Structure 1
């Protein structure tokens, strides 16, 4: 696609292969801009669950920080691996996985700038086909990684289930499903319902030849719960972070205005049976 041509926005079917290809390409093209725009908020070694700024240091959704030492942790959709870097600083043994080579290059850039930080593996792979043996990890996490962009979330959840040991915890955050009924705008125009919450047709940006260059998939809250259960997990908690007073930052459609009125993030805390 010509870099000066704006993609066409549509709602249409997009399967596993097309969604995966679009995600890899989009994140490779946009990783630099993303890290430049949001890197300051994310930090180099913070574990932030979403635009509200809920920090794992305070939330403890993976368990007490003092209990992370020695635990093997898989981060799915790691981006520049900020969350994995925080985990490593607490003595955990993380593996940061992402579909985008360019995002992982930013993880290397940050590591090279902090030579004293603990080292950990970076793996480029699709979340629907994890290159690890069964029972390889004690914990798994994903902060807005992979799941919003895959056509078959159960496939990813079952892969995470496979690589976790029995009793292992899996925590992931996604855009709160209610947001799909509202325009993706941070101002007052983003407070009026404009679409059906129940319309699960994917959001697609495509080039002039009709090839998807960005795909995002919608699941209702009930869908997400059923996906978790169908994958063999037990849902322990569902966290909907409130917007804190200290956070004055806008991030796409997330903003203090909207955050005080409707949830923007859903965090699913699950355990493997």
Structure 2
């Protein structure tokens, strides 16, 4: 799944036809518990799951899977140039770094020619609205152009969670100036079958405004 809307890679084929994944070297960035890598391995791909959080990778290890788990910073990928055919990231890494261009340039470096990178992030429009699932989440409460990051702190004032806001134009420029070609920008619609409601996600909001932006990028 690429997003809370429930867009399935089996249907979307944003990485390419599912049958073509067999034998491909794929890097999952911000893998968390490596759910995507587990699915890729089941299709016959050779995934590597990378995350900055050692604890998340411990969950991945507990769940199991016959693929490498790498604890590393996405802005300094510990791989040789041209190591992968594909790369993917479902809500991982990119929203949490101040300069996403660092990640994008590193991903381009480790991809082989014509390699594809697909990543999903919260749709930038959502930043202007309260993170509420009901009607109160449909009124503009902040400037879409305010790029101040969202920060949560512990009792001692240390940042424990930071998420950065980029406008849609920022994201496109980040992709292009990093040397990628933007192949597609997917804004999944909320499907009728999805009745889930959690956090700021709900059918009410999902049927009216986009919640996710998925960038399909290729290197030369």
Deviation, structure 1 residue 213 = 1.2
Deviation, structure 1 residue 211 = 1.7
- The alignment partner of 1:271 has SS state of strand
Contact 1:51-1:251 at 8 Å conserved across structures: no
For residue 31 of structure 1, what is the aligned residue in structure 2?
none
Deviation, structure 1 residue 69 = 0.6
Structure 2 runs not aligned, ≥5 long = none
Bigger helix fraction: 1
For residue 98 of structure 1, what is the aligned residue in structure 2?
51
For residue 62 of structure 1, what is the aligned residue in structure 2?
15
Write the distance in 2 (CA, Å) between the matches of 1:135 and 1:251.
39
Contact 1:134-1:163 at 8 Å conserved across structures: yes
- TM-score, normalised by the number of residues in structure 1: 0.79
- What CA deviation, in whole Å up to 9, does each residue of 1:118-146 have, x standing for no partner? 61000011111100000000000000001
For residue 265 of structure 1, what is the aligned residue in structure 2?
212
1:174 to 121, 125, 129: 121
CA RMSD of aligned residues (A): 0.8
2:84 to 124, 128, 137: 137
2:32 to 71, 76, 79: 79
Write the distance in 1 (CA, Å) between the matches of 2:198 and 2:120.
16
Write the distance in 2 (CA, Å) between the matches of 1:270 and 1:66.
20
1:183 to 101, 126, 130: 130
The runs of at least 4 consecutive aligned structure 1 residues that moved more than 3 Å come to none
- TM-score, normalised by the number of residues in structure 2: 0.98
- The alignment partner of 2:14 has SS state of coil
- What CA deviation, in whole Å up to 9, does each residue of 1:63-105 have, x standing for no partner? 0000001000000000111111111111100000011111111
